[in-house]
Amino acid sequence: MNTQYSRRQFLQQSSLATMGLLLSQGCKKNAHNPTILVVSGWQDVNIGDIAHTPGLLQVLKSFVPQAHIILWKKRVENSLVEPLILENYPKVRIVHGEVNNQYQVESQEVLQAFDQADLMIHGSGPGIIGRDNLQAWVDQTGKPFGIFGTTIASIDDQLAGLLRKASFIYTRETKSLDVLKQNGITGDHLDFAPDATFYLDLSDDEQADKFLRLHGLEQGQYICAVPRLRYTPYHKIKRDVNWTPEKIAQVESTNEKYGETDHAKMREAIIRWVRTTGNKVLVCPEMTYQVNIMDELLINPLPEDVKPSVIKRGYWMPDEAASIYRKAFSVLSFECHSPIIALANGTPAMYLRQPEDTIKGQMYYDLKLSNWVFEIDETDGEQIADQLMNIWEAPKSADQVINGVYARIDDIYRRGCEPINAVLNA
């Protein structure tokens, strides 16, 4: 598939065109180079959440190439993540610092970034996770800020006041735009921009190829399957989760109720794939905890003739996942972001959506990907298997779908960056 190659050509040409336009217009800010402060990096136990950050960095590199970027990483968990970012974006400077309950920052490197930056952008995520960071920026600098590819499912008074000051708000699905409207937040500066993970441009072909050779996985001849419980058991994987016993009981009972029912539907597609094509399946995680449920929910219940064709992968970083997904025939996932990483690499992907997985799944419909989304409570395993085999029989049609999706995404991101360029060159 040439989707990824063609998109990279587009990005290179677009970046040069953007820079040429800016140079022809002349930059009004001659005193210093325009600088953007990005707040992102919500958690590192999820390759989808990790991917938000380099995805947005790639958007800005592509359409705001003249800007210097400072990344205010909200959390520091996995020691591999920051080196991964810096290896791929060596010009980015990363800063750390907490915001107190008075929306004040004491970190000198963050305060220095406040002084240097012309604009602050809140990166993609499940909500305005960095609202305190934005509030500190507004209170201490009065400079403009915007939100890029973020879900906004609910709004309280503090957030409403903050959002009314934004220079732009791009939500990652149209349902969030409805929430803004219901709360009296309207205007031409509001728009839809899908999750920045759609622009993830990382890879680790060396590590991926080593793994593929070890397990006899041939390019274009295997699928990837990603499991997921209805609720992420954060009480088991993160120290700072203070759920009540009632909350824990509700999460665990829901997961127990639907775990087998959901994954039996994915297993049906796996069985059809192996028996029809004779090819292999890689079961892999998007989150750390999923390594521990692979056997119970996906592999052990498989028929004996299918099990030898199934391989497991432990937790990984998004660069290796991207390389593995790029060489896969397709990705089937209960998680939202593995399909996005696959699509970013030109690989067809199906999202098996659980109703507990928030409104973010709407972005698939917004991007005209409804044929590759399966609302799991309204779907049986045969339907998933049928669509997988439809793609197997007509791969060029799948390429056309991906190319169409990215033509729209490229246009959305380009237009979304016009106000950013306007602020930086005001």
Check whether 5 has a pLDDT greater than 80.
no
pLDDT band, residue 76 (cuts 50/70/90): confident
Q: What pLDDT is stored for residue 19 in this prediction?
A: 43
3-state secondary structure of 49: helix
Q: Which helix (H) or strand (E) holds 168?
A: strand 168-171
Question: What whole-number distance in Å separates Cα of residue 166 and Cα of residue 147?
Answer: 8
Other Cβ atoms less than 10 A from the Cβ of 1: the count is: 18
Can you name the residues that pair with 190 across neighbouring β-strands?
A: 169
Q: How confident is the model at residue 16 (pLDDT cuts 50, 70, 90)?
A: very low
What's the token pair of residue 374? 């399966």
Each residue's pLDDT tens digit, 113-164: 999 999 999 999 999 999 999 999 999 999 999 999 999 999 999 999 999 9
Please determine, for residue 15, whether its predicted confidence score (pLDDT) is greater than 60.
no
3-state secondary structure of 336: coil
Q: Write the pLDDT tens digit of every residue in 398-413.
A: 999 999 999 999 999 9
Q: Which amino acid is at 386?
A: D
Amino acid 23: pLDDT: 37
Q: Which of 182, 278, 296, 282 is nearest to 229 (CA)?
A: 296
Domains located in the chain, CATH noted: 3-200+409-424 (3.40.50.11720), 205-393 (3.40.50.2000)
Predicted TM-score (pTM) of the model is 0.93
pLDDT in tens, 235-285: 998 888 899 999 999 999 999 999 999 999 999 999 999 999 999 999 999
Residue type, 59: V
Read off the pLDDT of residues 39-62 as tens digits, 9 standing for 90 and up.
999 988 999 999 999 999 999 999
Tokens at 400, concatenated: 């056309």
DSSP state string for 233-282: -HHHH-TT----HHHHHHHHHHHHHHHHHHHHHHHHHHHHHHHHH--EEE
- Chain position carrying tokens 């050779």: 213
